[in-house]
């Protein structure tokens, strides 16, 4: 081969290597998904779908960030909470009207609307999804956790927790995971109950607004810091989330970190 031809061939090889390297980096360090939206709060399901909530409107985005569907019911006022634990049956709670709505993955009504007021639970502060299409409520009037099946029949209850635990409870959040219910009381920590309502233990993490549970790990946000706490070995690991913007909410799911800002939600590998 002539020297010029050899030099030209080497040049093509170098260019190919550079191009391949850039492509490899891009594939392994993809740009974060950015969803431009004004919202009050957001949540995600275990499939990576993102849900933003603003007043009475719930909007679903696919993992790619593409808009998928919208739900709104003006008759029920603003949405208080959305539990997306089961992607096929979202639990949407309207505290002002003491009403629960169940939506499928298309954001269409999944089953009958539940009026807690008609069931004589007029001071329900919290609602969350349970296993096998059940749901839980926290009845503030009686300081009690109650579990209902998919037909809204009562199947478990704790009794008056103020009397049982001998402490004042002011819970602000709850969720069920792996047949345990986690009830958050910012002043004291997270109370854990089994699906029959029996008290199990308290996890001493205070001042939380909400959290996620994955096996032994509890994920939560503290200002611009995102933490995980292993409640089996009592170990906390925290990571500072860089950036100049104020982070109003964070979620973690399938090795992806979801960060909520004032006007957007970003999704990136963690």
Structural domain includes residue 196? no
Please say which residue of 115, 150, 172 terminates a domain.
115
Secondary structure, 3-state, the chain: CCHHHHHHHHHHHHHHHHHHHHHHHHHHCCCCEEEECCCCEEEECCCCCEEEEECCEEEEECCCCCEEEEEECHHHCCCCEEECCCCCCEEEEEHHHCEEEEECCCCCECCCCEECCCCCCCCEEEEEECHHHCEEEEECCCCEEEEECCCCCEEEECCCHHHHHCCCCCCCEEEEECCEEEEEECCCEEEEEECCCCEEEEECCCCCCCCEEECCEEEEEECCEEEEEECCCCEEEEEECCCCCCCCEEEEECCEEEEECCCEEEEEEC
> Are residues 45 and 23 located together in one domain of the fold?
no
* 233-266 pLDDT tens trace: 999 999 988 677 888 899 999 899 999 999 999 9
CB 80 within 8 Å of CB 125: no
Structural domain includes residue 111? yes
Structural domain includes residue 101? yes
Going by pLDDT thresholds of 50, 70 and 90, the confidence category of residue 29 is: low
Structural domain includes residue 193? no
Domain with residue 47: its CATH number is 2.40.10.480
> Are residues 41 and 103 located together in one domain of the fold?
yes
Structural domain includes residue 232? no
Average pLDDT of the residues in 213-239: 93
Q: How many CA atoms lie within 13 A of 166 on its CB side?
A: 0
Please say which residue of 75, 94, 115 terminates a domain.
115
Across the chain, mean pLDDT equals: 89
Structural domain includes residue 184? no
Domain hosting residue 94, numbered range = 37-115
* 4-25 pLDDT tens trace: 444 344 444 333 333 333 333 3
Average pLDDT of the residues in 42-46: 96
> Are residues 93 and 43 located together in one domain of the fold?
yes
pLDDT score, position 25: 35
Compute the distance between CA of residue 130 and CA of residue 254 in angstroms, rounded to an integer.
21
Structural domain includes residue 79? yes
- Number of domains into which the chain is organized: 2
């Amino acid at each position: 081969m002539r020297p010029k031809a050899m030099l030209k061939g080497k040049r093509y090889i170098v260019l190919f290597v550079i191009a391949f390297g850039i492509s490899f980096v891009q594939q392994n360090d993809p740009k974060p998904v950015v969803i431009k939206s004004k919202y009050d709060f957001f949540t995600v399901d275990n499939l990576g779908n993102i849900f933003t909530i603003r007043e009475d409107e719930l909007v679903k985005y696919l993992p790619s960030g593409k808009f998928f569907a919208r739900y709104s019911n003006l008759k029920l006022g603003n949405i208080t909470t959305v539990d997306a634990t089961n992607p096929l049956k979202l639990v949407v709670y309207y505290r002002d009207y003491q009403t629960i709505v169940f939506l499928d993955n298309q954001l269409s009504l999944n089953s009958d609307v539940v009026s807690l007021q008609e069931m004589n639970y007029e001071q329900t502060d919290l609602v969350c999804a349970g296993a096998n299409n059940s749901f839980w409520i926290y009845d503030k009037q009686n300081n009690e956790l109650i579990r209902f099946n998919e037909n809204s029949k009562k199947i478990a209850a704790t009794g008056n927790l103020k009397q049982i635990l001998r402490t004042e409870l002011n819970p602000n959040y709850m969720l069920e995971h792996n047949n345990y219910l986690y009830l958050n009381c910012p002043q004291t920590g997270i109370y854990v109950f089994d699906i029959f309502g029996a008290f199990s233990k308290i996890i001493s993490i205070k001042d939380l607004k909400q959290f996620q549970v994955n096996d032994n790990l509890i994920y939560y946000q503290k200002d611009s810091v995102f933490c995980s706490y292993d409640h089996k070995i009592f170990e906390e690991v925290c990571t500072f989330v860089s950036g100049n913007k104020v982070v109003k909410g964070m979620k973690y799911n399938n090795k992806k970190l979801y960060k909520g800002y004032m006007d957007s939600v970003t999704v990136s590998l963690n």
